[in-house]
Amino acid sequence: MKLLLVEDETRLARVIARGLTEEGHTVDACERGTDAIDQGLALDYDVAILDWSLPDADGLTVLRTWRARGCTMPVLMLTARSSVPERIAGLRAGADDYLGKPFDFEELLARLEALHRRSTTIGALRAGDVELDANRRVLARSGAEVQLTAREFALMRLLFERLGDVCTRTELLSGVWGTAFDGEANVVDVYIGYLRKKLLELQTDRLTIATVRGIGFRLEARA
């Protein structure tokens, strides 16, 4: 999943982000409500983790602004507020789930996965003679299958969704590794290489990942 974490407790945010990253997810973090509003509207996220209490705007304000501007991503409210009226207020403002502090990380992960499943309509994507199974994270062709890692799947899904379009390295880096990624930019090229090897394993000649020199990559399918 590509996740937006809005949490002003630096230590807690770091722990959550590290745990989710270790599970194979991409995490962008914000500490301020105004930044969260802008980022949630500008980028596509699978789920947002939104703290109730923020230094410049409470989580309800952020949430109401997102919903008023047409942002439909699932939102998990994460807060120490635990009274029934407060939970109801969060849900009525547009929250999809609610988890009180302190919490168990495994429960947080399970709730995020459940929200993602409920919001995801994709079961499989097809290009050429290859199918991308989103539920099992595999590429399949004529009965043969190859398993994808979390990063490989996220990158291939983005290419499938943009079939025939040129995707810049910047778009792929942001979409799969997140805006806060500070590693080597050539990680995109490395993972494109991994995906090309997976396609070779399927022995397809109808689906290829083409390099667009100086720009990025394009998934091409032949009839």
Q: What is the pLDDT of residues 159-209, one digit of tens each?
A: 998 999 999 998 888 778 776 566 777 889 999 999 999 999 999 999 999
* Residues 31 and 81 placed together within one structural domain of the fold: yes
Give the domain-ending residue among 103, 119, 135: 119
* Residues 45 and 149 placed together within one structural domain of the fold: no
* Residues 43 and 6 placed together within one structural domain of the fold: yes
* Residues 85 and 11 placed together within one structural domain of the fold: yes
Q: Under a CB-based contact definition with an 8 Å cutoff, are residues 19 and 11 in contact?
A: no
* Residues 147 and 88 placed together within one structural domain of the fold: no
* Residues 208 and 133 placed together within one structural domain of the fold: yes
Residues 79-89: tens digit of each pLDDT: 776 667 777 77
CA distance linking residue 167 with residue 216, whole number of Å:
6
Residues 105-153: tens digit of each pLDDT: 999 998 898 888 766 655 678 899 999 987 678 899 998 999 888 788 8
Residue 95 CB-density burial (10 A; 0-12 exposed, 13-18 middle, 19+ buried): buried
* Residues linked to residue 167 through DSSP beta bridges, in sequence order: 217
| Banded pLDDT at 71 (limits 50, 70, 90) | confident
**CATH code, domain with 110:** 3.40.50.2300
* Residues 217 and 196 placed together within one structural domain of the fold: yes
pTM score of the predicted model: 0.58
* Residues 72 and 40 placed together within one structural domain of the fold: yes
Give the domain-ending residue among 119, 143, 174: 119
- Give the per-residue pLDDT at 113: 85
* Residues 87 and 178 placed together within one structural domain of the fold: no
* Residues 29 and 108 placed together within one structural domain of the fold: yes
**Domain range enclosing 151:** 124-221
Average pLDDT over residues 37-65: 88
- 36 CB neighbour count, 10 Å cutoff: 29
User: How many domains is the chain partitioned into structurally?
Assistant: 2
Residues 89-107: tens digit of each pLDDT: 777 778 888 888 888 899 9
* Residues 185 and 204 placed together within one structural domain of the fold: yes
Residue owning tokens 């997976």: 198
- Give the per-residue pLDDT at 188: 92
Which strand (E) or helix (H) includes residue 145? strand 144-147
Phi-psi group of 127: left, alpha or beta (phi > 0 → left; psi -120 to 50 → alpha; rest → beta): beta
Give the domain-ending residue among 119, 136, 165: 119
